[in-house]
């Protein structure tokens, strides 16, 4: 059920990335073709890049799970069929954690290239498909790098929340960057170390109130006030909704009449 040209394209991309590493080559081809089957009848696909170590699935990210549902509801209202795909960049192993640690300090050259290849493959083989590359926290760094590579591809967009303070974000068209949830300034994006250390110390010694015990955390243990983006926050909802309406608009459907 998959055209031979699509299979050959997947094979070429896998060879470029992994060469003679047969196990990685086979896995990449399988993933590309599997994703192709899932999305070939859709109008839009959201690819989720998690924060932290990069092993969290969307269903386990409470903030972005709600955001993704909101995005899909808005797209549905505009006439677009959509689905979500996880980009799980890190395996849950010591080797995977070490690799992620190295990539963080290099700002993800390898993993961004890997994702860009997937995006190129899908837009090349699924006509009219639009892709939203979503990024949460550290995952926004990858999304940003992918958008630099995709700047000449008008069918690729990006929504990013809470990028780390050390990353110099590229300002590009078709990208929505949220570094403030409209309620509390994002201490992680601002590099407000004093606020992060203070909030972490209060939580450690049991001095934080229930209101301060929010899910804005870095690697679970370090508290980061404001590093929390929820669909029901007015600023988050309004910014994303406006971005979708500006860049997608109502889907135009060809209508044919018999006379």
pLDDT tens for 86-138 read 998 887 777 877 887 788 777 888 899 999 999 999 999 999 999 999 999 98
CB 164 within 8 A of CB 138: yes
Task: Using alpha carbons, list the distances in angstroms from residue 158 to 45, 83, 232, 242.
Answer: 11, 15, 20, 14
> What CA–CA distance (Å, rounded) separates 20 from 98?
23
pTM: 0.89
Task: Using alpha carbons, list the distances in angstroms from residue 184 to 179, 195, 212, 224.
Answer: 10, 11, 11, 10
Strands, DSSP E only, in 32-161? Answer: 44-49, 82-86, 130-136, 156-161
Q: What are the phi and psi torsion angles at 159 (to 5°)?
A: -125, 120
Confidence band of 215 (pLDDT split at 50, 70, 90): low
């Amino acid at each position: 059920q998959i055209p031979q040209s699509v299979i050959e394209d997947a094979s070429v991309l896998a060879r470029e990335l992994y060469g003679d590493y047969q196990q990685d080559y086979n896995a990449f081809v399988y993933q590309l073709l599997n994703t192709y089957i899932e999305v070939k009848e859709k109008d839009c696909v959201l690819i989720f890049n998690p924060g932290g170590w990069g092993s969290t699935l969307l269903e386990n990210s409470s903030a972005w799970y709600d955001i993704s549902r909101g995005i899909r509801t808005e797209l549905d209202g505009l006439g677009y069929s959509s689905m979500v795909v996880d980009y799980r960049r890190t395996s849950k192993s010591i080797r995977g954690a070490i690799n992620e640690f190295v990539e963080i300090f290099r700002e993800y050259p390898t993993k961004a290239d890997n994702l860009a290849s997937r995006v190129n493959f899908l837009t090349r083989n699924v006509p009219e498909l639009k892709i939203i590359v979503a990024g949460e926290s550290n995952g926004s760094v990858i999304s940003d790098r992918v958008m630099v590579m995709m700047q000449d591809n008008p069918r690729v967009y990006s929504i990013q929340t809470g990028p780390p303070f050390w990353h110099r974000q590229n300002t590009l068209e078709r990208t929505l960057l949220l570094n403030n949830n409209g309620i509390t300034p994002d201490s992680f994006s601002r590099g407000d170390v004093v606020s992060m250390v203070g909030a972490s110390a209060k939580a450690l010694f049991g001095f934080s109130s229930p209101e301060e015990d929010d899910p804005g955390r870095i690697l679970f243990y370090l508290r980061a006030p404001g590093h929390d983006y929820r669909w029901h926050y007015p600023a988050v909802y309004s910014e994303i909704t406006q971005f979708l309406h500006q860049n997608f608009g109502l889907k135009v459907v060809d209508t044919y009449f018999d006379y």
